[in-house]
Amino acid sequence: DVSIALFTANLRLRDNPVLRGALDAARRVVPLFVVDSGIVERGFAVPNRAAFLADALAELDEALRERGGRLVVRHGDVVTETARVAAETGAGEVHLAAGVSEYADRRERRLRAALEADGRALVVHDAVLTVVPSGVLTPTGKDHFAVFTPYFRRWERQRVRRPLPAPRSVPVPERVRSEPLPDAAAIAGGERSPGLARGGEATGRKRLTAWMRQGLGDYHALADDLAADATSRLSPHLHFGCLSPTDVLHAARRRGGPGADDFVRQLAWRDFHHQVLAARPAAGRHDYRGHGDRWRNDPAAFDAWREGRTGFPVVDAAMRQLRHEGWMHGRARLLVASFLSKTLYLDWRLGARHFLDLLVDGDLANNQLNWQWAAGTGTDTRPNRVLNPLTQARRFDPNGDYVRRWVPELAEIPGRKAHQPWRLPEPERPADYPEPIVDLATGARRFQRARG
């Protein structure tokens, strides 16, 4: 009388339909996490996400222990290991969250086949999105939405189930072998960003509570202000499922107001990109709109972008924030992505890969499809618009505070002058800061010509 709750992108007890399903199915439940060699082999396990994940697993184990259980950990291929634990414990069912990536899809199919061959069942739950891909379809009822606004109109009207409370107790069978909880190094070797956020459900809930009280109300006014740093920073918690998006959505709607409205719209973007990836798995790798591969090859420019030495302070500030925190402000993500793919005209996939190497919230659906959006290869309705980094800097960092925070070479340059150090008279120009690596007008013309 045992079932398995396999934890993937749902590392929490509250509002976890997978855990609830497993608890309803049997008297005893194995809360299982497999450090999946498949994810490591695909290059997706990187130090920042490994550190966040290790924190999240530790918090999950602690919460389970408070309820009489514990987390069971295995290393290896997720399907082989899960099937093995099922055989060892005699579990009749394995409960799993539905994913949208090709990888998640294949994992689900392989797991179902392995379990069914052994007379067991796989039960799949919706636990990662607020509205699942099939929940919002175009008027013909057959297709996904490629454009956000009409998607959002329908998304808003969807009924979203009420969040489930955390279970009071989680009875785990007595003799189940578990490996020790992994630390970050056991998941992915290498150095993490020094300013990385901590992961976990309790940590995420604290942030959510503080955000609902203090941040949400001003979100509409401050979300784009780079220096204010006034967005929720919930993205890694949502990525790993330390928080349930359904829970976050209900909390924001309860609070209400213009800040909550804008915030809810951002949560819809998350569902939107996931349904595009579900419908077009190749969009993670190839241009959504076929623009052909005419990107320039310029390794020196790519390195300058990656290392935050392009000579455009707002771009460099953002790239350095990414390296330092494993996170970047959303407005900054958009402008550095446009800079790489349009102004420098380098392949968006190079930039997307660099983001995935560092972002603690690095996520196939959100990352690849936002990159496609910014590069004009995605479903954007204005694919040829080039963001000018100076205009962006003046609008979203009007006093230059964001730039001075992240680019110490410019720390002494007052106000908005920090955005154009090359215009300062020679003696005031910081010697250790590079000249711009590209002329913006030339870059914009090159892009427009290439796109015809």
Residues making up the binding site for FAD = 219, 231-235, 263, 361-363
Binding residue ranges: 219, 231-235, 263, 361-363
Cβ proximity of 255 and 340 under 8 Å? no
What does the longest C-alpha to C-alpha distance in the chain come to? 78
What's the CA gap between 122 and 116, in Å, rounded?
8
> With respect to ligand FAD, which residue has the nearer C-beta, 52 or 355?
355
For residue 332, the minimal CB distance to ligand FAD (Å) is 8
Does residue number 270 form part of the binding site for ligand FAD (CB under 6 A)? Answer: yes
> With respect to ligand FAD, which residue has the nearer C-beta, 234 or 242?
234
What's the CA gap between 322 and 183, in Å, rounded?
23
Does residue number 386 form part of the binding site for ligand FAD (CB under 6 A)? Answer: no
What's the CA gap between 317 and 406, in Å, rounded?
5
For residue 318, the minimal CB distance to ligand FAD (Å) is 11
For residue 238, the minimal CB distance to ligand FAD (Å) is 4
- The two three-digit tokens of residue 381, written as one number: 């309705």
Piece of the chain touching ligand FAD by CB under 6 A; list 28-36, 128-136, 175-183, 365-373: 365-373
Cβ proximity of 220 and 261 under 8 Å? yes
- The two three-digit tokens of residue 138, written as one number: 């175009």
Element (H, E) at 76: strand 72-76
Helix/strand/coil for 31: strand
Does residue number 355 form part of the binding site for ligand FAD (CB under 6 A)? Answer: yes
The one among 15, 55, 287, 361 contacting ligand FAD by CB under 6 A: 361
Give the Cβ contact number of residue 292 at 10 Å: 9
The one among 366, 377, 379, 392 contacting ligand FAD by CB under 6 A: 366
Does residue number 359 form part of the binding site for ligand FAD (CB under 6 A)? Answer: yes
With CA atoms as reference, report the closest residue to 384 among 430, 338, 442, 423.
338
> With respect to ligand FAD, which residue has the nearer C-beta, 3 or 130?
130
Does residue number 273 form part of the binding site for ligand FAD (CB under 6 A)? Answer: yes
Cβ proximity of 378 and 369 under 8 Å? yes
The one among 78, 131, 197, 267 contacting ligand FAD by CB under 6 A: 267
Give the Cβ contact number of residue 325 at 10 Å: 20
Does residue number 131 form part of the binding site for ligand FAD (CB under 6 A)? Answer: no
Does residue number 404 form part of the binding site for ligand FAD (CB under 6 A)? Answer: no
> With respect to ligand FAD, which residue has the nearer C-beta, 33 or 219?
219
Does residue number 148 form part of the binding site for ligand FAD (CB under 6 A)? Answer: no
* Residue type at 297 in one-letter notation: N
Cβ proximity of 123 and 152 under 8 Å? no
By CB under 6 A, name the binding residues for ligand FAD. 223, 231-235, 238-239, 263, 266-267, 269-270, 273, 330, 333-334, 337, 355, 359, 361-363, 366-367, 370-371, 374
